[in-house]
Amino acid sequence: MKIKHEQLKQLIEAAIFASDKPISINRLKQTVLVDFNLSKLAIKHVIDELVLDYQPRGINLIELGSGYRFQTQDSLSQWLSKLWEESAPKYSRAYLETLALIAYRQPITRGEIEQVRGVAVGSNIIKTLTERDWIDVVGHKEVPGKPALYATTKGFLDYFGLASLAQLPDADNFLSALDKAQEPITLDEALSDSASTVDTPHEDETDLPSTEQIH
């Protein structure tokens, strides 16, 4: 079956808009475009056109770890945030330090995280980060006990508006950015916010790992 270019563009635009999560080219090809003999490259060209169409607008089309989605421009967040009355959950430094170490040293075991932080990593921390789909078990280390190896997920990339781990900021800024990040804020927005961080009390207070420790 054939489809005109303009209609194809409209269909892809509508599919990305209607999807409740980022949608990949493979997913588009297997669902809304299944009746058309289109290559992945042809679909990518259409998406690239849409990206350019939306660049000057208040809504942008961006590529994330698991696919494409529309999201509001970062520069508008300070005004758009007024639409949400409830504040996003705040995570303690223990959670954020653990996530930072996994992001920069993955794959990493819980014991290795504890060695860097100097305190035990509570099971609730690993459970919460896993339930948020920010981390997952990607294997087991070949040492006695075969501890689980943790790494970040595509959900982590999607949440922070990243297409890949290569877009992570410098370790110097990462923990500070995580402190400030709130739904639906992106990591870029958090990094551009120069306000001081808000510390939340927790049961295992510890000094932040230095940049050398995170790298």
Name, in order, each residue with C-beta under 8 angstroms of 3's C-beta and a sequence gap of 6 or more.
11, 36
Q: Strand 135-140: give its sheet, edge to edge.
A: 108-109, 148-152, 135-140
Q: Quick check: is 215 in a domain? A: no
Q: Are residues 111 and 35 in the same domain?
A: no
CATH number of the domain enclosing 190:
1.10.10.10
Q: Are residues 26 and 108 in the same domain?
A: no
Q: Quick check: is 79 in a domain? A: no
Question: In whole angstroms, what is the distance from residue 20 CA to residue 67 CA?
Answer: 12
CA distances from 107 to 50, 84, 119, 126, 150 (A): 36, 36, 19, 14, 5
**pTM check: above 0.75:** no
* Residue among 66, 67, 71 nearest 154 (CA): 66
Q: Are residues 26 and 105 in the same domain?
A: no
The count of structural domains within the chain is 2
Question: In whole angstroms, what is the distance from residue 36 CA to residue 22 CA?
Answer: 21
Least confident of 62-66, 123-127, 134-138, 200-204: 200-204
The mean per-residue pLDDT over the stretch 112-118 comes to 89
The mean per-residue pLDDT over the stretch 44-63 comes to 96
Q: What pLDDT, on a 0 to 100 scale, did the predictor assign at position 178?
A: 60
Q: How confident is the model at residue 171 (pLDDT cuts 50, 70, 90)?
A: low
Q: Quick check: is 172 in a domain? A: yes
Q: Are residues 103 and 198 in the same domain?
A: yes
Q: Quick check: is 32 in a domain? A: yes
Cα 211 from chain centre: 21
Could you tell me which residues are beta bridge partners of residue 148? 140
Q: Are residues 16 and 108 in the same domain?
A: no
The 10s digit of each residue's pLDDT in 72-89 is 988 888 888 788 765 556
Q: Quick check: is 87 in a domain? A: no
Q: What pLDDT, on a 0 to 100 scale, did the predictor assign at position 176?
A: 64
Q: Which domain holds residue 24?
A: 5-73
Q: Quick check: is 213 in a domain? A: no
Question: In whole angstroms, what is the distance from residue 26 CA to residue 184 CA?
Answer: 26
Name, in order, each residue with C-beta under 8 angstroms of 161's C-beta and a sequence gap of 6 or more.
62, 64, 71, 186, 187, 188
Tokens 């070949």 sit on residue: 142
The 10s digit of each residue's pLDDT in 188-209 is 444 444 333 333 333 343 333 3
Q: Are residues 97 and 64 in the same domain?
A: no
Q: What pLDDT, on a 0 to 100 scale, did the predictor assign at position 172?
A: 64
Q: Quick check: is 150 in a domain? A: yes
Q: What pLDDT, on a 0 to 100 scale, did the predictor assign at position 77?
A: 80
